[in-house]
Amino acid sequence: MSKKGIISRMYPLAKLSIALILGTTSIIVQTWQFGYMFLLPLTMFLALIDGRFWSYFKKVLSVSIIFFSFIFLIQAFLVPEGAVMWEWKFLVLTEGGLNNALSITSVILSFLTTLLLVFETTNISDLMVSLQKTGMPNGAAYVFLASLQMIPQMNKRSKVIMQAQRARGIETEGNLLVRIKAFVPTLSPLIISSITDIGDKAQTLEARAFSATCKNTFYRQIKANTLDKILPVVVGLLCIAYIVWTYVPALGGM
Protein backbone atom coordinates (compact mmCIF):
# COMPACT_ATOMS: atom_id res chain seq x y z
CA MET A 1 0.00 0.00 0.00
CA SER A 2 1.49 3.36 -1.07
CA LYS A 3 2.07 6.00 1.59
CA LYS A 4 -0.36 8.90 1.48
CA GLY A 5 0.97 12.39 0.81
CA ILE A 6 0.36 15.39 3.03
CA ILE A 7 -2.63 16.57 0.97
CA SER A 8 -4.12 13.07 0.71
CA ARG A 9 -4.09 12.75 4.51
CA MET A 10 -6.23 15.85 5.01
CA TYR A 11 -9.87 15.46 6.02
CA PRO A 12 -12.01 15.36 2.83
CA LEU A 13 -14.44 18.10 3.88
CA ALA A 14 -11.55 20.40 4.85
CA LYS A 15 -10.12 20.12 1.33
CA LEU A 16 -13.53 20.55 -0.29
CA SER A 17 -14.28 23.61 1.86
CA ILE A 18 -10.97 25.25 0.94
CA ALA A 19 -11.56 24.54 -2.76
CA LEU A 20 -15.02 26.14 -2.65
CA ILE A 21 -13.72 29.15 -0.70
CA LEU A 22 -10.97 29.77 -3.27
CA GLY A 23 -13.39 29.29 -6.16
CA THR A 24 -15.90 31.70 -4.65
CA THR A 25 -13.13 34.24 -4.07
CA SER A 26 -12.23 34.12 -7.76
CA ILE A 27 -15.86 34.94 -8.65
CA ILE A 28 -15.89 37.94 -6.31
CA VAL A 29 -12.53 39.51 -7.16
CA GLN A 30 -12.85 39.02 -10.95
CA THR A 31 -9.10 39.32 -11.54
CA TRP A 32 -7.40 36.88 -13.90
CA GLN A 33 -4.17 37.01 -11.89
CA PHE A 34 -5.82 35.13 -9.00
CA GLY A 35 -6.50 32.05 -11.09
CA TYR A 36 -3.58 32.07 -13.49
CA MET A 37 -0.75 33.43 -11.35
CA PHE A 38 -1.75 32.17 -7.90
CA LEU A 39 -4.06 29.15 -7.87
CA LEU A 40 -2.64 27.30 -10.88
CA PRO A 41 0.99 27.34 -9.62
CA LEU A 42 -0.20 26.65 -6.06
CA THR A 43 -2.25 23.56 -6.96
CA MET A 44 0.56 22.24 -9.17
CA PHE A 45 2.99 22.64 -6.27
CA LEU A 46 0.60 20.90 -3.84
CA ALA A 47 0.15 18.02 -6.29
CA LEU A 48 3.95 17.79 -6.59
CA ILE A 49 4.59 17.53 -2.85
CA ASP A 50 1.76 14.98 -2.59
CA GLY A 51 3.42 12.79 -5.23
CA ARG A 52 0.57 13.08 -7.75
CA PHE A 53 1.90 15.77 -10.07
CA TRP A 54 1.79 13.93 -13.41
CA SER A 55 -1.61 12.37 -12.84
CA TYR A 56 -3.03 15.73 -11.76
CA PHE A 57 -1.29 17.64 -14.57
CA LYS A 58 -2.69 15.28 -17.22
CA LYS A 59 -6.24 15.70 -15.90
CA VAL A 60 -6.00 19.49 -15.78
CA LEU A 61 -4.51 19.56 -19.27
CA SER A 62 -7.10 17.21 -20.79
CA VAL A 63 -10.07 19.07 -19.31
CA SER A 64 -8.56 22.44 -20.27
CA ILE A 65 -8.06 21.44 -23.90
CA ILE A 66 -11.65 20.20 -24.25
CA PHE A 67 -13.56 23.03 -22.56
CA PHE A 68 -11.24 25.78 -21.44
CA SER A 69 -9.59 26.74 -24.75
CA PHE A 70 -12.95 26.84 -26.58
CA ILE A 71 -14.45 29.26 -24.05
CA PHE A 72 -11.31 31.40 -24.11
CA LEU A 73 -11.32 31.73 -27.90
CA ILE A 74 -15.04 32.56 -28.03
CA GLN A 75 -14.72 35.26 -25.39
CA ALA A 76 -11.48 36.70 -26.79
CA PHE A 77 -12.51 37.02 -30.44
CA LEU A 78 -16.26 37.60 -30.26
CA VAL A 79 -16.29 40.39 -27.68
CA PRO A 80 -14.97 43.51 -29.48
CA GLU A 81 -14.07 46.00 -26.75
CA GLY A 82 -11.23 48.51 -26.58
CA ALA A 83 -8.13 48.80 -28.73
CA VAL A 84 -7.42 46.22 -31.43
CA MET A 85 -4.39 44.09 -30.51
CA TRP A 86 -4.39 41.64 -33.44
CA GLU A 87 -6.49 41.20 -36.56
CA TRP A 88 -6.65 38.59 -39.30
CA LYS A 89 -9.56 38.51 -41.75
CA PHE A 90 -12.71 38.16 -39.62
CA LEU A 91 -10.79 37.42 -36.40
CA VAL A 92 -10.24 40.50 -34.25
CA LEU A 93 -8.56 40.36 -30.85
CA THR A 94 -9.20 43.44 -28.73
CA GLU A 95 -7.82 44.47 -25.37
CA GLY A 96 -11.27 44.29 -23.77
CA GLY A 97 -11.98 40.90 -25.33
CA LEU A 98 -8.70 39.50 -24.03
CA ASN A 99 -9.30 40.84 -20.52
CA ASN A 100 -12.85 39.47 -20.56
CA ALA A 101 -11.63 36.05 -21.71
CA LEU A 102 -8.92 35.98 -19.03
CA SER A 103 -11.37 37.00 -16.28
CA ILE A 104 -14.04 34.42 -17.19
CA THR A 105 -11.61 31.57 -17.74
CA SER A 106 -9.79 32.48 -14.53
CA VAL A 107 -12.96 31.68 -12.56
CA ILE A 108 -13.35 28.37 -14.40
CA LEU A 109 -9.66 27.62 -13.86
CA SER A 110 -9.96 28.34 -10.13
CA PHE A 111 -12.76 25.81 -9.63
CA LEU A 112 -11.19 23.35 -12.07
CA THR A 113 -7.74 23.23 -10.47
CA THR A 114 -8.90 23.16 -6.85
CA LEU A 115 -11.71 20.62 -7.26
CA LEU A 116 -9.58 18.34 -9.44
CA LEU A 117 -6.89 18.41 -6.74
CA VAL A 118 -9.49 17.50 -4.11
CA PHE A 119 -10.77 14.50 -6.08
CA GLU A 120 -7.24 13.50 -7.10
CA THR A 121 -6.10 13.29 -3.47
CA THR A 122 -9.31 12.03 -1.84
CA ASN A 123 -10.86 8.58 -1.58
CA ILE A 124 -14.45 9.09 -2.75
CA SER A 125 -15.77 6.71 -0.08
CA ASP A 126 -14.06 8.82 2.61
CA LEU A 127 -15.67 11.93 1.15
CA MET A 128 -19.11 10.30 1.26
CA VAL A 129 -18.63 9.21 4.89
CA SER A 130 -17.52 12.72 5.89
CA LEU A 131 -20.61 14.19 4.18
CA GLN A 132 -22.90 11.72 5.97
CA LYS A 133 -21.32 12.62 9.31
CA THR A 134 -22.37 16.24 8.74
CA GLY A 135 -26.00 15.10 8.60
CA MET A 136 -26.43 14.74 4.85
CA PRO A 137 -29.15 12.16 4.05
CA ASN A 138 -27.91 8.78 2.87
CA GLY A 139 -29.76 9.15 -0.42
CA ALA A 140 -28.13 12.50 -1.21
CA ALA A 141 -24.69 11.18 -0.27
CA TYR A 142 -25.16 8.15 -2.51
CA VAL A 143 -26.32 10.28 -5.46
CA PHE A 144 -23.21 12.44 -5.00
CA LEU A 145 -20.94 9.38 -4.90
CA ALA A 146 -22.66 7.65 -7.82
CA SER A 147 -22.41 10.81 -9.95
CA LEU A 148 -18.65 10.98 -9.40
CA GLN A 149 -18.13 7.29 -10.10
CA MET A 150 -20.48 6.92 -13.07
CA ILE A 151 -18.15 8.09 -15.86
CA PRO A 152 -15.02 6.23 -14.61
CA GLN A 153 -17.05 3.03 -14.18
CA MET A 154 -18.60 3.28 -17.64
CA ASN A 155 -15.18 3.99 -19.13
CA LYS A 156 -13.73 0.92 -17.43
CA ARG A 157 -16.71 -1.21 -18.52
CA SER A 158 -16.42 -0.02 -22.14
CA LYS A 159 -12.74 -1.02 -22.20
CA VAL A 160 -13.67 -4.52 -21.02
CA ILE A 161 -16.32 -4.79 -23.75
CA MET A 162 -13.86 -3.59 -26.41
CA GLN A 163 -11.33 -6.19 -25.28
CA ALA A 164 -14.03 -8.86 -25.58
CA GLN A 165 -14.81 -7.61 -29.10
CA ARG A 166 -11.13 -7.88 -30.07
CA ALA A 167 -11.01 -11.41 -28.64
CA ARG A 168 -13.85 -12.34 -31.03
CA GLY A 169 -11.83 -11.09 -33.98
CA ILE A 170 -13.69 -7.81 -34.48
CA GLU A 171 -11.46 -5.02 -35.74
CA THR A 172 -11.45 -2.17 -33.22
CA GLU A 173 -8.38 -0.18 -34.27
CA GLY A 174 -7.74 1.86 -37.38
CA ASN A 175 -9.19 5.01 -38.90
CA LEU A 176 -12.14 6.95 -37.49
CA LEU A 177 -14.75 5.01 -39.49
CA VAL A 178 -13.42 1.66 -38.25
CA ARG A 179 -13.46 2.89 -34.65
CA ILE A 180 -17.06 4.14 -34.99
CA LYS A 181 -18.18 0.80 -36.44
CA ALA A 182 -16.49 -1.00 -33.55
CA PHE A 183 -17.91 1.37 -30.92
CA VAL A 184 -21.59 1.27 -31.95
CA PRO A 185 -22.06 -2.47 -31.14
CA THR A 186 -20.65 -1.86 -27.64
CA LEU A 187 -23.45 0.56 -26.71
CA SER A 188 -26.08 -2.13 -26.21
CA PRO A 189 -24.08 -4.30 -23.75
CA LEU A 190 -22.78 -1.15 -22.04
CA ILE A 191 -26.30 0.19 -21.41
CA ILE A 192 -27.67 -3.21 -20.37
CA SER A 193 -24.77 -3.85 -17.97
CA SER A 194 -25.24 -0.37 -16.45
CA ILE A 195 -28.95 -1.04 -15.85
CA THR A 196 -28.15 -4.44 -14.33
CA ASP A 197 -25.55 -2.80 -12.12
CA ILE A 198 -28.19 -0.44 -10.72
CA GLY A 199 -30.24 -3.41 -9.47
CA ASP A 200 -27.17 -5.05 -7.93
CA LYS A 201 -26.25 -1.83 -6.14
CA ALA A 202 -29.79 -1.42 -4.81
CA GLN A 203 -29.71 -4.94 -3.32
CA THR A 204 -26.27 -4.30 -1.82
CA LEU A 205 -27.42 -1.05 -0.23
CA GLU A 206 -30.51 -2.64 1.30
CA ALA A 207 -28.37 -5.50 2.65
CA ARG A 208 -26.36 -2.82 4.47
CA ALA A 209 -29.47 -1.17 5.99
CA PHE A 210 -29.27 1.81 3.67
CA SER A 211 -32.90 2.82 4.26
CA ALA A 212 -32.86 2.16 8.01
CA THR A 213 -34.22 5.01 10.13
CA CYS A 214 -31.85 4.41 13.04
CA LYS A 215 -28.46 6.11 13.33
CA ASN A 216 -25.88 4.50 11.08
CA THR A 217 -22.41 3.38 12.05
CA PHE A 218 -19.47 3.57 9.66
CA TYR A 219 -16.95 0.91 8.74
CA ARG A 220 -14.54 3.58 7.51
CA GLN A 221 -13.40 5.70 10.45
CA ILE A 222 -12.06 9.12 9.50
CA LYS A 223 -11.66 12.06 11.84
CA ALA A 224 -10.72 15.68 11.36
CA ASN A 225 -7.69 16.76 13.38
CA THR A 226 -7.08 20.26 14.72
CA LEU A 227 -5.29 21.42 11.56
CA ASP A 228 -8.18 20.19 9.39
CA LYS A 229 -10.56 22.34 11.43
CA ILE A 230 -8.37 25.45 11.55
CA LEU A 231 -7.07 25.54 7.97
CA PRO A 232 -10.41 26.27 6.19
CA VAL A 233 -11.06 29.12 8.66
CA VAL A 234 -7.59 30.59 8.05
CA VAL A 235 -8.00 30.33 4.27
CA GLY A 236 -11.45 31.94 4.53
CA LEU A 237 -10.09 34.87 6.56
CA LEU A 238 -7.20 35.37 4.14
CA CYS A 239 -9.61 35.37 1.20
CA ILE A 240 -11.86 37.92 2.93
CA ALA A 241 -8.81 40.12 3.54
CA TYR A 242 -7.82 39.78 -0.12
CA ILE A 243 -11.33 40.73 -1.28
CA VAL A 244 -11.34 43.80 0.99
CA TRP A 245 -7.86 44.79 -0.24
CA THR A 246 -9.03 44.39 -3.85
CA TYR A 247 -12.13 46.57 -3.56
CA VAL A 248 -11.09 49.24 -1.03
CA PRO A 249 -9.13 52.00 -2.81
CA ALA A 250 -7.50 53.19 0.43
CA LEU A 251 -5.84 49.77 0.75
CA GLY A 252 -4.55 49.76 -2.80
CA GLY A 253 -7.58 48.15 -4.44
CA MET A 254 -9.41 49.19 -7.58
Residue ranges of domains in the chain: 7-122+225-252, 137-208
User: 119: closest CA among 221, 16, 222?
Assistant: 16
pTM for the full model?
Answer: 0.73
User: 111: closest CA among 50, 9, 33, 39?
Assistant: 39
For CA atoms 28, 30, 33, 36, the dihedral sign is: positive
Q: How many CB atoms lie within 10 A of CB 230?
A: 12
pLDDT for 1 equals 43
Q: Using CA atoms, how far apart are residues 136 and 253, in angstroms rounded to an integer?
A: 39
pLDDT for 239 equals 94
- Averaged over successive runs of 10 residues, the pLDDT of the chain (254 residues) comes to 77 92 91 90 94 90 78 73 70 75 86 91 84 75 70 72 73 69 71 72 66 67 86 95 80 55
Q: Using CA atoms, how far apart are residues 154 and 203, in angstroms rounded to an integer?
A: 20
203, HSE (Cβ side, Cα atoms, 13 Å): 5
